[in-house]
Amino acid sequence: MKKDFVVSIFLFTKIKGEVSLLLLHHKKLDKWLIPGGHIEYGEDPIEAAKREIEEETGLKNIKFVSFIHNDIRTYSDAKHILSPEYLFEEIIQPHKNDPLHKHIDMIYIAITDQCDISLNKDESNNIKWFTRVEIEQLDLFEMTYELAKTLFEKIGGTSLI
């Protein structure tokens, strides 16, 4: 079975003092999702994540954070690339010309101080910042919902944003 490498990003900000998560309402899946997409040839995962966020939201000023990695090292012969916070293999159901396949999903956490977002109408029906309470009313995949709950707690307990 074919496996594609993808990135997904839990992107947080503070709006009126409250931590909020950016979600997009995906056209094809008819669900709220975090930004993300396929890693293109020649990209590392962070480059792909930055590109996907900019394409899907218009945001450029983001900072990647990690709760499990804090020992960033760069050497003369090696550049450190931030590891994903989570790594999942997901089954992707057939759609139009795409057969059943799998995604190897590298999930990152990012923060921004920008709240103004723009909708990419080619991919999403809607885009919006949601608080921890608001996500309870949304149609989310189980993984997205459970990770979001965990990350709201972690982000809220820090001075990151």
Task: Read off the pTM.
Answer: 0.92
How much is the average pLDDT of 116-138?
90
pLDDT of residue 71: 75
- pLDDT band per the 50, 70, 90 thresholds, residue 111: very high
pLDDT of residue 49: 98
Phi-psi domain of 63 (left: phi exceeds 0; alpha: psi -120 through 50; beta: other): beta
- pLDDT band per the 50, 70, 90 thresholds, residue 131: very high
More confidently predicted of 144 and 79: 144
Q: Is 80:72 a contact under the CB 8 Å cutoff?
A: yes
Q: Is 98:143 a contact under the CB 8 Å cutoff?
A: no
pLDDT of residue 36: 96
Distance CA 15, CA 129 (A): 9
pLDDT of residue 116: 87
Q: One-letter amino acid identity for 3? A: K
Residue 57 φ/ψ, nearest 5 degrees: -130, -20
- pLDDT band per the 50, 70, 90 thresholds, residue 119: confident
Distance CA 120, CA 127 (A): 9
Other C-beta atoms lying within 10 Å of the C-beta of residue 84: 23
